Amino acid sequence: MAPSGSRSIKRGCQRVLYWIPVLFIALIVAWSYYAYVLQLCIESIEDTGEKVVYLLVYHVIFIMFVWAYWQTIFTKPMNPLKEFHLSHSDKELLEREDRGESQQEILRRIAKDLPIYTRTNSGAIRFCDRCQLLKPDRCHHCSVCDKCILKMDHHCPWVNNCVGFANYKFFMLFLLYSLLYCLFITATDLQYFIKFWTNGLPDTQAKFHILFLFFSASMFSVSLASLFIYHCWLVCKNRSTLEAVRSPVFRHGTDKNGFSLGFSKNFRQVFGDEVKYWPIPVFSSLGDGCSFPTCLVNLDPEQPSSPTGSNPLKC
Protein backbone atom coordinates (compact mmCIF):
# COMPACT_ATOMS: atom_id res chain seq x y z
CA MET A 1 0.00 0.00 0.00
CA ALA A 2 1.27 3.48 -0.87
CA PRO A 3 2.46 5.65 2.04
CA SER A 4 -0.14 8.32 1.21
CA GLY A 5 -2.90 5.68 1.36
CA SER A 6 -1.78 4.39 4.76
CA ARG A 7 -1.60 7.94 6.07
CA SER A 8 -5.17 8.57 4.88
CA ILE A 9 -6.40 5.43 6.66
CA LYS A 10 -4.55 6.46 9.83
CA ARG A 11 -6.08 9.95 9.74
CA GLY A 12 -9.53 8.45 9.17
CA CYS A 13 -9.16 6.13 12.17
CA GLN A 14 -7.97 9.03 14.31
CA ARG A 15 -10.99 11.13 13.31
CA VAL A 16 -13.30 8.29 14.37
CA LEU A 17 -11.49 7.83 17.70
CA TYR A 18 -11.67 11.57 18.44
CA TRP A 19 -15.48 11.32 18.48
CA ILE A 20 -15.56 8.64 21.22
CA PRO A 21 -15.54 11.13 24.17
CA VAL A 22 -18.37 13.12 22.51
CA LEU A 23 -20.35 9.91 21.96
CA PHE A 24 -19.81 8.98 25.62
CA ILE A 25 -21.20 12.35 26.79
CA ALA A 26 -24.14 12.03 24.36
CA LEU A 27 -25.02 8.59 25.75
CA ILE A 28 -24.80 9.81 29.35
CA VAL A 29 -27.07 12.77 28.55
CA ALA A 30 -29.56 10.54 26.68
CA TRP A 31 -29.73 8.13 29.62
CA SER A 32 -30.12 11.00 32.12
CA TYR A 33 -33.03 12.35 30.04
CA TYR A 34 -34.73 8.94 30.10
CA ALA A 35 -34.06 8.42 33.81
CA TYR A 36 -35.21 11.88 34.88
CA VAL A 37 -38.20 12.46 32.60
CA LEU A 38 -39.66 8.95 32.40
CA GLN A 39 -38.44 7.09 35.48
CA LEU A 40 -38.43 9.94 38.02
CA CYS A 41 -40.99 12.53 36.89
CA ILE A 42 -43.57 10.39 35.12
CA GLU A 43 -43.24 7.08 37.00
CA SER A 44 -42.22 8.10 40.53
CA ILE A 45 -43.56 11.60 41.29
CA GLU A 46 -47.25 11.48 42.22
CA ASP A 47 -47.94 15.20 42.76
CA THR A 48 -49.02 16.69 39.40
CA GLY A 49 -47.94 20.25 40.22
CA GLU A 50 -44.48 19.16 41.29
CA LYS A 51 -44.19 16.97 38.21
CA VAL A 52 -45.11 19.84 35.82
CA VAL A 53 -42.75 22.35 37.45
CA TYR A 54 -39.84 19.88 37.43
CA LEU A 55 -40.42 19.00 33.77
CA LEU A 56 -40.72 22.64 32.65
CA VAL A 57 -37.55 23.82 34.42
CA TYR A 58 -35.67 20.69 33.41
CA HIS A 59 -36.43 21.12 29.71
CA VAL A 60 -35.42 24.80 29.68
CA ILE A 61 -32.03 23.93 31.19
CA PHE A 62 -31.72 20.84 28.98
CA ILE A 63 -32.34 22.81 25.76
CA MET A 64 -29.81 25.52 26.69
CA PHE A 65 -27.27 22.87 27.69
CA VAL A 66 -27.60 20.89 24.45
CA TRP A 67 -27.62 24.08 22.36
CA ALA A 68 -24.39 25.36 23.98
CA TYR A 69 -22.74 21.94 23.66
CA TRP A 70 -23.70 21.71 19.98
CA GLN A 71 -22.29 25.18 19.29
CA THR A 72 -19.04 24.37 21.09
CA ILE A 73 -18.59 21.18 19.05
CA PHE A 74 -19.59 22.37 15.60
CA THR A 75 -18.39 25.98 15.53
CA LYS A 76 -15.34 25.93 13.29
CA PRO A 77 -12.27 27.50 14.96
CA MET A 78 -11.18 30.77 13.36
CA ASN A 79 -7.81 30.93 11.65
CA PRO A 80 -5.60 33.98 10.99
CA LEU A 81 -6.59 36.33 8.19
CA LYS A 82 -4.69 36.23 4.89
CA GLU A 83 -2.74 39.36 5.88
CA PHE A 84 -0.78 37.21 8.36
CA HIS A 85 0.16 34.59 5.75
CA LEU A 86 3.44 34.94 3.88
CA SER A 87 3.20 35.88 0.23
CA HIS A 88 4.85 33.64 -2.34
CA SER A 89 7.78 36.05 -2.72
CA ASP A 90 8.26 36.31 1.06
CA LYS A 91 8.27 32.51 1.35
CA GLU A 92 11.00 32.25 -1.30
CA LEU A 93 13.00 35.00 0.36
CA LEU A 94 12.72 33.29 3.76
CA GLU A 95 13.73 29.91 2.34
CA ARG A 96 16.86 31.38 0.74
CA GLU A 97 18.07 32.66 4.09
CA ASP A 98 19.73 30.02 6.25
CA ARG A 99 20.66 32.27 9.17
CA GLY A 100 18.12 32.81 11.93
CA GLU A 101 18.89 36.54 12.32
CA SER A 102 18.41 37.18 8.60
CA GLN A 103 15.07 35.37 8.70
CA GLN A 104 14.02 37.43 11.72
CA GLU A 105 14.85 40.64 9.80
CA ILE A 106 12.47 39.52 7.05
CA LEU A 107 9.76 38.63 9.57
CA ARG A 108 10.19 41.94 11.42
CA ARG A 109 9.75 43.81 8.14
CA ILE A 110 6.51 41.95 7.43
CA ALA A 111 5.27 42.28 11.03
CA LYS A 112 5.79 46.06 10.95
CA ASP A 113 2.52 46.41 9.01
CA LEU A 114 0.56 44.06 11.28
CA PRO A 115 -0.96 44.57 14.78
CA ILE A 116 1.42 42.13 16.48
CA TYR A 117 2.69 42.89 19.99
CA THR A 118 3.64 39.51 21.42
CA ARG A 119 6.99 37.80 20.91
CA THR A 120 8.66 34.50 21.69
CA ASN A 121 10.57 34.08 24.96
CA SER A 122 13.73 35.09 23.12
CA GLY A 123 12.08 38.24 21.75
CA ALA A 124 11.68 36.93 18.19
CA ILE A 125 8.63 37.31 15.93
CA ARG A 126 6.19 34.44 16.48
CA PHE A 127 6.16 32.44 13.24
CA CYS A 128 4.45 29.13 12.42
CA ASP A 129 6.55 26.93 10.11
CA ARG A 130 3.67 24.54 9.39
CA CYS A 131 1.09 27.19 8.46
CA GLN A 132 3.68 29.62 7.02
CA LEU A 133 2.26 32.66 8.78
CA LEU A 134 3.06 35.22 11.42
CA LYS A 135 1.05 34.35 14.48
CA PRO A 136 -1.39 37.06 15.61
CA ASP A 137 -1.40 37.88 19.31
CA ARG A 138 -2.84 35.02 21.41
CA CYS A 139 -2.82 32.67 18.41
CA HIS A 140 -1.27 29.19 18.77
CA HIS A 141 -0.82 26.15 16.57
CA CYS A 142 -2.96 23.16 17.58
CA SER A 143 -1.15 19.88 16.99
CA VAL A 144 -4.46 17.96 16.86
CA CYS A 145 -6.21 20.24 14.36
CA ASP A 146 -2.87 20.99 12.64
CA LYS A 147 -3.91 24.64 12.27
CA CYS A 148 -3.21 27.96 13.92
CA ILE A 149 -6.20 28.87 16.09
CA LEU A 150 -7.09 32.45 17.01
CA LYS A 151 -6.98 33.10 20.78
CA MET A 152 -6.54 29.39 21.39
CA ASP A 153 -7.49 28.28 24.90
CA HIS A 154 -7.05 24.52 24.62
CA HIS A 155 -8.05 21.53 22.53
CA CYS A 156 -10.90 19.80 24.32
CA PRO A 157 -11.42 16.07 23.65
CA TRP A 158 -14.92 16.23 25.20
CA VAL A 159 -16.09 18.47 22.34
CA ASN A 160 -13.60 17.18 19.74
CA ASN A 161 -12.75 20.77 18.88
CA CYS A 162 -10.36 23.56 19.66
CA VAL A 163 -11.72 26.06 22.16
CA GLY A 164 -10.71 29.51 20.98
CA PHE A 165 -11.96 32.91 19.91
CA ALA A 166 -14.82 31.54 17.79
CA ASN A 167 -16.41 29.32 20.43
CA TYR A 168 -15.02 30.31 23.85
CA LYS A 169 -18.32 31.97 24.81
CA PHE A 170 -20.16 28.78 23.81
CA PHE A 171 -17.73 26.73 25.90
CA MET A 172 -18.38 28.94 28.95
CA LEU A 173 -22.15 28.60 28.49
CA PHE A 174 -21.76 24.85 28.02
CA LEU A 175 -19.99 24.66 31.39
CA LEU A 176 -22.63 26.88 33.00
CA TYR A 177 -25.69 25.03 31.70
CA SER A 178 -24.17 21.57 32.22
CA LEU A 179 -23.43 22.55 35.82
CA LEU A 180 -27.00 23.87 36.28
CA TYR A 181 -28.29 20.68 34.66
CA CYS A 182 -26.44 18.47 37.14
CA LEU A 183 -27.26 20.65 40.16
CA PHE A 184 -30.97 20.73 39.27
CA ILE A 185 -31.10 16.95 38.89
CA THR A 186 -29.21 16.47 42.17
CA ALA A 187 -31.50 18.88 44.08
CA THR A 188 -34.80 17.51 42.75
CA ASP A 189 -33.72 13.88 42.95
CA LEU A 190 -32.47 14.16 46.55
CA GLN A 191 -35.76 13.43 48.34
CA TYR A 192 -36.38 10.37 46.18
CA PHE A 193 -32.78 9.25 46.70
CA ILE A 194 -33.44 9.37 50.46
CA LYS A 195 -36.66 7.41 49.99
CA PHE A 196 -34.62 4.75 48.19
CA TRP A 197 -32.63 4.08 51.38
CA THR A 198 -35.70 4.26 53.64
CA ASN A 199 -37.69 1.86 51.43
CA GLY A 200 -40.11 4.63 50.56
CA LEU A 201 -40.09 3.84 46.85
CA PRO A 202 -41.98 1.02 45.15
CA ASP A 203 -39.79 -1.91 44.16
CA THR A 204 -39.49 -1.15 40.43
CA GLN A 205 -36.63 -0.49 38.02
CA ALA A 206 -37.18 3.27 38.56
CA LYS A 207 -35.52 3.14 41.97
CA PHE A 208 -32.19 2.07 40.45
CA HIS A 209 -32.33 4.84 37.84
CA ILE A 210 -33.04 7.33 40.64
CA LEU A 211 -30.07 6.02 42.61
CA PHE A 212 -27.54 6.21 39.77
CA LEU A 213 -28.97 9.49 38.52
CA PHE A 214 -28.24 11.13 41.87
CA PHE A 215 -24.72 9.70 42.09
CA SER A 216 -23.73 10.61 38.53
CA ALA A 217 -25.25 14.13 38.67
CA SER A 218 -23.61 14.94 42.01
CA MET A 219 -20.19 13.67 40.87
CA PHE A 220 -20.35 15.59 37.58
CA SER A 221 -21.41 18.70 39.55
CA VAL A 222 -18.16 18.68 41.52
CA SER A 223 -15.89 18.41 38.47
CA LEU A 224 -17.93 20.89 36.42
CA ALA A 225 -18.03 23.41 39.27
CA SER A 226 -14.23 23.41 39.62
CA LEU A 227 -13.74 23.77 35.86
CA PHE A 228 -16.37 26.51 35.56
CA ILE A 229 -14.92 28.51 38.47
CA TYR A 230 -11.44 28.27 36.93
CA HIS A 231 -12.64 29.56 33.55
CA CYS A 232 -14.62 32.35 35.24
CA TRP A 233 -11.33 33.42 36.82
CA LEU A 234 -9.67 33.33 33.38
CA VAL A 235 -12.45 35.49 31.89
CA CYS A 236 -12.11 38.02 34.74
CA LYS A 237 -8.35 38.22 34.08
CA ASN A 238 -8.73 38.11 30.27
CA ARG A 239 -6.40 35.14 29.98
CA SER A 240 -6.57 31.88 28.10
CA THR A 241 -5.56 28.56 29.65
CA LEU A 242 -2.31 28.71 27.68
CA GLU A 243 -1.62 32.26 28.92
CA ALA A 244 -2.28 31.17 32.51
CA VAL A 245 0.36 28.45 32.11
CA ARG A 246 2.83 30.69 30.24
CA SER A 247 2.42 34.47 30.39
CA PRO A 248 2.51 36.30 27.04
CA VAL A 249 5.78 38.01 26.12
CA PHE A 250 5.67 41.55 24.75
CA ARG A 251 8.46 43.74 23.38
CA HIS A 252 9.09 45.10 26.87
CA GLY A 253 9.05 41.61 28.44
CA THR A 254 6.68 39.10 30.04
CA ASP A 255 3.39 40.56 31.28
CA LYS A 256 0.70 38.23 32.62
CA ASN A 257 -1.80 41.13 32.70
CA GLY A 258 -0.94 42.45 29.26
CA PHE A 259 -4.45 41.87 27.91
CA SER A 260 -6.37 42.64 31.09
CA LEU A 261 -8.61 45.73 30.79
CA GLY A 262 -10.49 45.46 34.09
CA PHE A 263 -13.29 43.10 35.07
CA SER A 264 -16.13 44.70 33.07
CA LYS A 265 -14.19 45.07 29.81
CA ASN A 266 -12.63 41.63 30.21
CA PHE A 267 -16.08 40.07 30.56
CA ARG A 268 -17.38 41.97 27.53
CA GLN A 269 -14.46 40.81 25.42
CA VAL A 270 -15.95 37.30 25.64
CA PHE A 271 -19.70 37.93 25.99
CA GLY A 272 -20.10 41.19 24.07
CA ASP A 273 -21.73 44.53 24.85
CA GLU A 274 -25.39 43.51 24.50
CA VAL A 275 -26.72 41.96 27.71
CA LYS A 276 -29.57 40.18 25.92
CA TYR A 277 -27.06 37.92 24.13
CA TRP A 278 -25.01 36.96 27.20
CA PRO A 279 -27.00 33.82 28.20
CA ILE A 280 -27.64 32.67 24.60
CA PRO A 281 -25.22 30.49 22.59
CA VAL A 282 -24.90 32.94 19.69
CA PHE A 283 -21.63 34.65 18.82
CA SER A 284 -21.29 38.08 20.43
CA SER A 285 -17.61 38.33 21.39
CA LEU A 286 -15.84 41.60 20.57
CA GLY A 287 -13.16 41.97 17.90
CA ASP A 288 -11.92 39.85 15.02
CA GLY A 289 -9.65 37.48 16.96
CA CYS A 290 -6.52 38.78 15.21
CA SER A 291 -5.92 41.88 17.34
CA PHE A 292 -6.81 42.70 20.93
CA PRO A 293 -6.82 45.80 23.13
CA THR A 294 -3.76 45.65 25.36
CA CYS A 295 -2.67 47.09 28.68
CA LEU A 296 0.97 47.64 27.75
CA VAL A 297 3.55 49.35 29.91
CA ASN A 298 5.67 50.33 26.91
CA LEU A 299 4.00 50.46 23.52
CA ASP A 300 5.95 49.23 20.55
CA PRO A 301 6.34 52.33 18.32
CA GLU A 302 7.06 50.19 15.26
CA GLN A 303 3.75 48.33 15.36
CA PRO A 304 0.31 49.50 14.23
CA SER A 305 -2.13 49.21 17.10
CA SER A 306 -4.98 47.57 15.20
CA PRO A 307 -6.27 47.13 11.64
CA THR A 308 -8.32 50.32 12.05
CA GLY A 309 -5.36 52.31 13.34
CA SER A 310 -6.83 53.00 16.78
CA ASN A 311 -4.47 53.04 19.76
CA PRO A 312 -4.49 50.18 22.26
CA LEU A 313 -5.73 50.91 25.73
CA LYS A 314 -3.10 52.00 28.25
CA CYS A 315 -3.36 51.22 31.94
Catalytic residue among 41, 156, 162, 182: 156
In a domain, 282, yes or no: no
Give the count of domains, the chain: 2
Question: Is residue 296 situated within a structural domain?
Answer: no
- Do residues 88 and 216 share a domain? no
Q: Do the domain assignments include residue 42? A: yes
Range of the domain at 57: 4-79+158-277
Q: Structure pTM? A: 0.89
Looking at the fold, whether 75 and 99 belong to one and the same domain comes out as no
* Count of CA atoms in the C-beta half-sphere (13 A) of 314: 7
Question: Are residues 184 and 64 both part of a single domain?
Answer: yes
Q: CA–CA separation, 127 vs 40, rounded Å?
A: 56
User: What is the H or E stretch that residue 226 is in?
Assistant: helix 206-237
Q: What is the pLDDT along the chain (315 residues), one digit of tens a residue?
A: 455 667 778 777 888 899 999 999 999 999 999 999 999 999 888 899 999 999 999 999 999 999 999 999 999 999 999 999 999 998 988 888 877 788 899 999 999 989 999 999 999 999 999 999 999 999 999 999 999 999 999 999 999 999 999 999 999 999 999 999 999 999 999 988 888 777 766 667 788 898 899 999 999 999 999 999 999 999 999 999 999 999 999 988 999 999 999 999 999 999 999 999 999 999 999 999 999 998 764 444 445 554 444 445 544
Report the amino acid identity of residue 132: Q
pLDDT of residue 4: 60
Domain check: are 66 and 36 in the same one?
yes
The answer to whether residues 62 and 87 belong to one domain is no
Measured distance CA(43)–CA(273) in Å, rounded: 45
Looking at the structure, do residues 119 and 36 belong to the same domain, yes or no?
A: no
74 and 87, same domain (yes or no) = no
Q: Is 41 a catalytic residue?
A: no
